[in-house]
Structure formats: C-alpha cells, structure tokens
Amino acid sequence: MTLQEYDYARESPSKLAASCLLLALTMKSLGGWTPTLEYYSGYNAQELHPLVKRLNFLLTYQPRDKLNTVRSKYSHRIFFEVAKLPPMDMLKLEEALTRC
C-alpha cells in the first residue's frame, strides 16, 4: 500500500519494513519489539512509533476501490486472511506502543 503513497517514498525501506512488522505484531497481540528485533533491525521501538501510527492511519482510511486484486489475494486462507484484519483503533495502538 505504501508503494502508491508518495509520502512514504522518503522513508528508508528498512525502517518501513520494521514499522510494518511492529504494527503486525501489535495488531495480532504477538508481543512487542524485542531486544533481538532491535539489534537486527537497527531500530528501537520509539523510533518506529510515528511511522507505525501513520501506517495504521493508512490502513484505516484507505480507499476501498483501490487495490482490489491485492485485497482479494490476501483475503485467502493461504495468506492467513490478513486483508480481512481490521486496523487497530488509534487509542488502543497508542496504548500498546507505550508498553513496547
């Protein structure tokens, strides 16, 4: 989704990937940003928080008429139906990120 948004072009790919991973971990309640993730990514959780919030906002307010093929593909069981996951409420996301 970020590939079609010009605002994300200035973000480094590694920081974008790390932020996506932190958002996914938070959305699925799979834990927070561990010291191992920090070591191998090179980012601490606080550095990623603003981008994680922007990514969740993008998920929340995405136009539904775009990317229908991608949404359909990732709605299948083989991809764990990730396209069907609802975005996090911004207040709950803020709470979860402060615990990281």
Spans of all domains in the chain: 2-99
Query: For the chain, how many residues are written?
Result: 100
Please state, in angstroms and rounded to a whole number, the distance separating the CA atoms of residues 64 and 71: 9
Q: Confidence band (pLDDT; 50, 70, 90) for 40?
A: very high
> Over 80: is that where the pLDDT of 74 sits?
yes
> Are 18 and 49 within 8 A, CB to CB?
no
Residue 12 CB partners (closer than 8 Å, separation 6+): none
Predicted confidence at residue 21, as pLDDT, reads: 96
Burial of 54 (0-12, 13-18, 19+ CB in 10 A): middle
Q: Hey, what CATH class is 2-99 in?
A: mainly alpha
Predicted confidence at residue 99, as pLDDT, reads: 84
